[in-house]
Structure 1
Amino acid sequence: MDALVRLLRQPYGPLLPWFGLAGLLTAVYLTVHATFLVSAQEQRAVVQAEWTAARQRLVQHMEAKKVHRELDQVMAVLPAERDFAPLALGVTEEAKRDNVTLPALSYRTEATGVPGTTKAVLQGAVSGRYEDLRRFIYNLETAEELLFIEDLDVVRSGNSQDERLTFNIKIVTYLRGEAGRVAAPSKE
């Protein structure tokens, strides 16, 4: 006790209680920081990571809904499988209107990786004058139905004086299967 009284009588003596108080407050701060603040920051990081993941799932969900709506629109435009034969007949009639000969148009369907759709392929040799063939191709490409010219091999027929060209054409479209159509509401 004597040493404490002597220490307090020194010129820096009145500052010792303040240093003690500062040390005590520092110890309290470190204890609070270690027990409450660090765990709160860890908890905040976990909550922020969960929020970011939830936000990403929401964005993915919204994009999936948008893609689903767009896919429904595309599926609505695709002709049904039962409309394939009339579509092939329509291509033949278009060839006749454009003064193009289409003697043998073969058609077949192929499976696709998309459920509810099939790929329809029409192919054959087409002959006619350049202007007529050009008009025929233009009319196919601008048709109301979704038709794609997937392959076109041009071969000049006859001699160089002949104005007729012959080429092999491969026309592709996609068909909506029965599973791809919307079911009619039942009357019960």
Structure 2
Amino acid sequence: MLAAVCFPVGDLDGYIARENGAIDWLYEVEGEGDNGYSDFYETIDTVLMGNKTYEHTFELADQFPYPDKKCYVFTRSEREPSPYVTFISGDIPEFIENLKDREGSKIWIVGGAEILDVLLKGDLVDEYIITIVPTILGKGIPLFKNDNPEKKLLLAMTKRYGQMIQLHYTVKS
């Protein structure tokens, strides 16, 4: 069974981006190496993201950054086919439940507070690996939206990368 993993980077007060979606503040922080990204990337075989995050990847990189993984993009509109992703416009929780029943490693929920919100409300996230950047934005796009169900988590590990701290939690059964 696949495990769905949330692996975001956020500021100290819980925002993943400025109100306009900008993440420039992330590049101003002293990290260490790739801040654990390569090690984490090797543990996943499936990538999930929303359409906004998918579009944003091409602003950050010249080519699609996950060509060696199964990648699904949730969208509300018609999209041209892509060699790297499968566009999904159906019921997100139902799709994820079916996906989690397959054999494999982990499902990575890439960015997108919208997708994470749907998965939280559907109790479909198994692990949270959250890297905290020592910045307080004061306002912006929150990692967690309002009115989520209460979740009890267990701290599995912490790791420091320069000025950042990574918290790895599993969902308490």
TM norm structure 2: 0.20
Which structure has the larger Rg over C-alpha atoms? Answer: 1
Q: Identify the structure with bigger relative contact order (alpha carbons < 8 Å, sequence gap 6+).
A: 2
Question: Greater share of strand residues, 1 or 2?
Answer: 2
